[in-house]
Each structure stands twice: as structure tokens, then as C-alpha cells.
Amino acid sequence: MPIYNAPLEDMLFLYEKLRDNKNYNEIDKYKEVTTDLVKNILEEAAKINQNLILPLAKAGDENPTVLENGIVRTPPGYKEAYKKFIEDGWTSLSCDPKYGGQGMPRTVSAFFDEMLSSASLAFKLYTELTLGAYNCIHHHATDEIKNKYLPNMVEGKWSGTMCLTEPVCGTDLGLLKTKAVEQPDGTFKITGQKIFITSGDHDLTENIIHLVIARASDSPKGTKGISLFLVPKFIVKGDGTVGARNGISTGSIETKMGIKGSATCVLNFDEATGFMIGPKNKGLSQMFTMMNLERIVVGIQGLGISEIAYQNSLSYAQERKQGKSNNNKSQNGNADLIIEHADIRKSLLNMKSIIEGERALCFWLSQQTEVSLNHNDQKIKQEASDMVSLMTPVVKSLFSDLGMEITSDAMQIYGGYGYTKDQGIEQLYRDNRITPIYEGTNSVQAIDLVFRKLVNKNGDIIAKYIEMMKSDLDLNNEKLKPFAEKLKTYIEKLNLFTDWMKEKIQNSKDDANAASNDYLRVLGYVAIGYSWLKVLEVSYKDYSNNKDFYEDKIQTANFYFNRVLPRVESHYISAITGSKYIMDYKFN
């Protein structure tokens, strides 16, 4: 079984030293969230993830969720772990105290999301979609529905899902067939089939609250006719207790490459009673409240799996002897530890520099998210919301794609042992493989970024982001200048790419489409570089207070700026060759 130790020192460093968003620090309700409180929370989070959740990863992979006589049964140990998990209040961490939550900001809960992703992604998915459904209901439902459903969801007694995909439609939700027929009492009868529903059915909670998109009888075709409905597995009675089974059944559980402990279900809705959430025909925008937050969390999943892959690779490299490294200092006789080999060291530093840069970028984004939701000034809220919108597809796609790179490199470091099941490394690769696919495939995310997020009704968002980065490059510290100059070079490359992309959006959409993934990566690598610059600023300033920690940061950043950031150049050169030779090619 893989080892895992939560990276508490790095997380606490970010919380203490990089919580530098003035607008975030103006949010009144978080002023009492002290570093000591956060330290206590994260230390307890580390314990439950390392000791209770981590063993579930192997258990769930070897004994997947099964469907028996219409009942979905989770892997051994899941029920007991889930019971302890909710008793300790982890489902309520970031939820509204009005409904029993602890009210912690995303600057804290994002760290917990990462730990849980590292420990067992399959287990995490049973609680993750609950929080997504909670957020959607919290933002869009009536007080009556909130009061009826949210307390039990916050407590973890009830779980939640989102039901979008159907056999006839994946990303193109306008093709959906699920119907909603209004009843005299104002409820709706929901009929249709949904597929690939994460945590769609299981035996961990006494009820499951499904958020389902469907088309009302009198609604138009396409996405304009989609409404959102709350459809419980069991009808909730007037006193709040669970009543009769609703018209929902599980057709099957998908047999998957990874996350085998997670129940990915085909759900059949047969005149199931549902309650409309928000206005009719506005369901897609309401569901996106859930989906957009979920996309950031998927990026964090990639980060979490990358972290545990790195930790185990490092440990193995420090124990395994193989070959001579040509290191004159070596005293190991016939064979050196593989960490002495330059190529292995390069792979490990590649992992480390990406992971720590991603974590810093995610922490910046979590501050922006809180500002977008909670600041008193509407203008400031909107500006933060635009930044979150811009970076959401970047975090979702780049973090999950780099998770594939890192887990693949981890297997390579292990050699033949990495390819076997004994070490648990190949499972990390398999578990992460879903992250570039679900919540909108990464190519869809890239297209969304290019065509919808760079410029919107509020202005040229990407120009504002680039200008923000440029304004932080005039630094007084001489030691920082080489890093700032390199970042400046690649920001200019991003600027050139952005101008090219804006032109192609107007004149050649095929060119823009073909370049979208490259553009997303360029923006992502530069954004991580910008986050590293912020880390370096603190590292040089506070160097004498913690020399070992900050020297490690400086050397890791040095690798990123010299070995990872230059990837920008190749993506740019490749992308601007256009698409004609692609679109004109005749496949047999």
C-alpha cells in the first residue's frame, strides 16, 4: 500500500504567508479564522486521511462496489469509515452554520480536498458530490427546500448527486430526453435515464438527493428548455423523516478502469417525484453553480493524486539501488541508489515543482472564490468572479493532465514494480485517468476557456489578468530579478498568443479550436510561474527564519523556471501553425 503524509508544512506556509489578497482579508466572517485554528483543523484532517481513509484505496480497488438484488453495496470498511467521517464533522467543514456547517473558507477546505484525494479518490467521491449538490441548493432553492434538505446533507446523513449525462448526450446537454410532467400539487413526475452518475446509489446514507436536469412538457428544445429538479431516492415526509421509495432504480454499475470503490451508476427515473429548483428553463445555469465549483475540485483531485505519487516515488528512489550514477562522490560499491541518477532526480524535481506551484495557484484561486461569493462590494465580487471563471478550466484541465504525467513518471521510477499491483502505483495512474474526462473533458474545457472566458460582457478578462501579473514584476529584491525576467518573457509570449487567438476566434474558428489546448497550457504554466514568484518573494524575505524550508523552495522554483516554464515556447510555436493541414487531411 502506498505511504502518505499530508504536506502540512507547505499548506500552513501558504495559509500564513500567501493569504495576501486584500479583498479576501476584508471578509468579516473569516477574520476569526486564525492560523492556529487552521493548523488544528489540518492536523486532524491529516490524521483521518492517513490512518482511516488511506487503507480504503486498496480495499476499494480489490473489492469494488457491487449491485446485488437492486442494492448497491460499497467496499469493505467504507461504511465504518463513513460513519466516523461524518461523526467528526468533515462533511460540514465549509458549509453554512445556519444548516449545521462549520463555515470554514475554501482557503481551508481546499487543503482538505487535496488530502482526501491523495488518500482515496473513490471514497472522496461519496462526499464530494454531496457538497456540490449542497452548494447548488444553497444558492438556488427556496428556504422551504433548504430547511428540509440541507441540514441532513451537511451532517452527512443524506448524500447528493448531479444527474446530467444520458445515453444520447454527454457534453451536449441540449439533446437530453428526460421529461418532467407537472402535477396539480406543483411537483413534477420525472421520467428518463441518466448514466455515469457518480455515487448514484450506495449503502452509506439513509437518503440520496439527486439534482436532475430535465425538460418540462411545455419547454422549448435545446439548452433553453432545461430545468433543474430535486429528486430524492426516498420521499421526505412533512416532519423531515424518510418515507417511501421514490421512482428511482439502479440499472447497473459501470465496470471502470479506476476509482472502483466509487459507484458510477445508470439510474432509471420512472415517474419519480421531483421538485423544481429555481425558475423553469433556467436549470443549466443553476447546475453550473455546482459544476464550476466541481471543476476546480477535479483539478485538486489531480493535485492530490500527484502528491501521493511523488511521495512514494521519492521514498522508493531513496531505497532502490540500480546501476552506477557516474557520481564521483558515490560510496555505494557496485550500485547506487537511483536517486543519484540525474534522470531520476529530474523526474522527481519535475513532480515537486509542478505540485507545489499548483498548490500555490489553487490557494490564490480559493481566495478569489471567497471574494466572488462573500465580499460586500459588488464590483469587487464581479472582478473576482471573472478571475475564477478564467482560471477554472485551467485548474481543472492542467492539474488533471499533469496528474497523468506525474503518475506515469512515478510508475517509471518504480520500473517493473510500478507496473504490478503490489506497490499501488499503477492504481494511482488508473484512478487519476478519469479526472481529464469527467466534469467536461479537458478539450471542452480548453474550448470553453478560449471562446467564453478570455473576454466576456465584463470586458477583456485575460488582459486584466496579464496586466495584474506584469504589475508584480517590478521587484526590489535583486535575487528575484532573474526569475521575474524569465516570467516576463513568457508573459509576453502569452500576450502574443492571446492576440493571435482573439484574431482567429473572429476569422478562423478551426485555427482557434486546434490551438485551444495549447493555449490553456500556456496560460496554466505562466499562472503557476506567477504563483511561484509569490512564493519566492516570501522565501527571500523570510529566509533567515527558516533556512532549510525556504532554500528548498528556491531550488524547487529554480527547476520550474528552467525546466517546466519553457514548455510555453513549444506549445506556442506548435499552435500558431494553424489548422488547415489538420482539417484538409483525408482519413481513410
Of the candidates 269, 157, 253, which has an alpha carbon nearest to the alpha carbon of residue 213? Answer: 269
Rounded (5°) CA angle 577-583-585 = 105
Q: Which residue has the cell 531550488?
A: 555
d(CA 1, CA 308) in angstroms, rounded, equals 11
DSSP 8-state class, residue 57 = H
Q: Does an H or E element contain 39, and which? A: helix 35-48
Tally helices (H) and strands (E) across the chain: 20, 13
- Tell me the three cell numbers of residue 357: 506551484
Pairing of strands 459-460, 455-456: antiparallel
- Residue 248: how many other CB atoms lie within 10 Å: 24
Q: Which three cell numbers stand for residue 319?
A: 531505497
Cα separation, 438 vs 433, in Å, equals: 10
182 has catalytic annotation: no
* Catalytic option among 439, 503, 537, 551: 439
Q: Mind giving me the DSSP string for 143-154?
A: HHHHHHHHHHHH
| Cell numbers at 421, concatenated | 499491483
Which residues are CB-contacts of 201 (< 8 A; sequence separation ≥ 6)?
72, 208, 233, 250, 263, 265, 267
* Cβ contact 33:366 at 8 Å: no
Residue 77 host element (H or E): none
Residue 265 CA to residue 382 CA, distance in Å, equals 37
H or E stretch at 70: none
What is the rounded CA–CA span in Å between residue 461 and residue 374? 21
H or E element, residue 438: none
**CB count, 10 Å around CB of 489?**
13
271: helix, strand or coil: strand
Residue 583 cell numbers, joined = 482539417
Sign (positive or negative) of CA dihedral 346, 352, 355, 356? negative
Residues found in the chain: 588
CA–CA gap between residue 132 and residue 97 (Å, rounded):
17
Q: How many CB atoms lie within 10 A of CB 241?
A: 10
SS3 517: helix
For residue 430, which phi and psi values (nearest 5 degrees)? -65, -45
Taking Cα atoms as reference points, which of 423, 391, 456 lies closest to residue 3? 423
Give the Cα separation of 24 and 374 in Å (integer): 9
Strands 242-245 and 226-232: unpaired
* CB 383 within 8 Å of CB 460: no
Active site residues: 439
